Structure 1
């Protein structure tokens, strides 16, 4: 392969500032780098022509090579889409399948959360350096995945979110997994890129059908017309992947797994008392409840995935149930 002139120039005289920043990040406890020569390097990534030569990671390296299902979809799904993502991830993670996604809002976050609630395995692939979380509102979720799963990036610390980074992230999501499930995707959704890449790599592609009146079902319907497996239950996926899952263990790591959060806890109930039909920002809720910002953000995520609260179109959160 012939390298571009600017690539050769970089390797001859690399910019020392990013290297110093990456080294400073790696010097911190729990911050790790794995090279493609390492036997623990994810074997499925070797199917890529442009497999990253190194991966930065936080969490449990035993999860690099567990059987995984990618779950992707809209950043603004319907309540039903959120519920399906969480419930499918719970069931599949409970059966020992790793749930892999991109730590985005919507379906991605719900899939990660469902796996955590099942005390199962989840892997997050990011489009930024691991010294930042994008979107920032998923900070609490990212910390839970770091402590009970695995977060991976090919981008060195200090790398910001850029539009062209996310297709690169998507190819890793597709390659790491045995198959990709798409839940609610518009016709121009990035989730369809992940599904296409999965198909090109010989992975299974699954799609959940929806109402013909739902614009977020159209991407899934297109995938089904193109040959994706129509999925109605989580067991449909287990049946299809069955021959590949004979040796799946429940949880390969000996690290402790957290119990699902108790939404009947007094802090959750205290937060719910300050929510009604009028949207309230996180700052308002922090001010009125006296709870910490990270606690409010984490609890709102749990309550949103349960369908108790919803993000209002103009921002803020409102109660869904009386």
Structure 2
């Protein structure tokens, strides 16, 4: 279990290393529809395929990646949540990622501060496989303090972006990142999120794409939050009590 002091030391260490990102020299483009078809995750209903279509019919939605694409050939679970994570939330994200890594489930997250960082780092520390989906092009690292972690992931795991190199970064990029994360994952777990969290974009995509969505019990039972009850009415949304529930749901 990570103490608050240990968490602070990790954060301070990343802060000292900020600004030293070296982008991948070997990256590739892949149509998202082909990617989902290749790994058996293509949605079946026509209404679920809207995210594969751009406003321009001549430009299909693509992803750009560096690393080992075949990490998607197997069970994948997204662990997501707030950037301003509590100590308990950090511990829960780390423990879940560790447990999934030990069952050979690939951990997916977004490389933001907070929950994303805790999950990806814990999976790596426990010899797991990870996929990071970022809201910037592959040639940018955001936040800067995660630049070393981002480099490690594209060198040894898999880094994905829905944005081509050189594209400008806007706040509106992040729902597109969440959409891709939901699409390539068999399930998503929300560790900690407020009623206004951007994480809820991914929750909505899970429902629309008929992917499993798990909400950690501490969040579902938090009386100050209204969003969990809005999602729990859907058939593939559940309160999470143990990692075994995820493994059973996705058949890992």
Given candidates 210, 229, 233, the residue that maps to 2:242 is 233
Shift of 1:164: 1.2
The 1:218/1:94 distance shift into structure 2, 3 A limit, reads farther
Q: Does 2:46 match 1:50? A: no
Aligned to 1:87: 95
Alignment partners' CA distance in 2, 1:167 and 1:207 = 19
Which is bigger in relative contact order (C-alpha 8 A, separation at least 6)? 2
Aligned to 1:189: 197
Shift of 1:119: 1.1
Shift of 1:78: 0.6
Q: CA RMSD in A?
A: 2.7
Given candidates 108, 111, 117, the residue that maps to 2:119 is 111
Aligned length: 217
**Is residue 137–residue 161 contact of structure 2 (8 Å, CA) maintained in 1?**
yes
Structure 1 residues 9-31: Cα deviation after superposition (integer angstroms, max 9, x where no partner): xxxxxxxxxxxxxxxxx9x7422
Question: Runs ≥4 in structure 1, deviation > 3 angstroms?
Answer: 35-46, 211-215, 217-227
Return 5+ residue gaps in structure 1 as ranges.
1-25, 246-322
Aligned runs of 1:261-300 on 2, under 5 Å? Answer: none
Shift of 1:110: 0.9
Q: Does 2:139 match 1:138? A: no
**Is residue 184–residue 220 contact of structure 1 (8 Å, CA) maintained in 2?**
no
Alignment partners' CA distance in 2, 1:163 and 1:187 = 18
**Is residue 42–residue 176 contact of structure 1 (8 Å, CA) maintained in 2?**
no
Q: TM-score, normalised by structure 1?
A: 0.61
State the SS of the aligned residue for 1:82. helix
The 1:77/1:222 distance shift into structure 2, 3 A limit, reads farther
**Is residue 40–residue 64 contact of structure 1 (8 Å, CA) maintained in 2?**
no
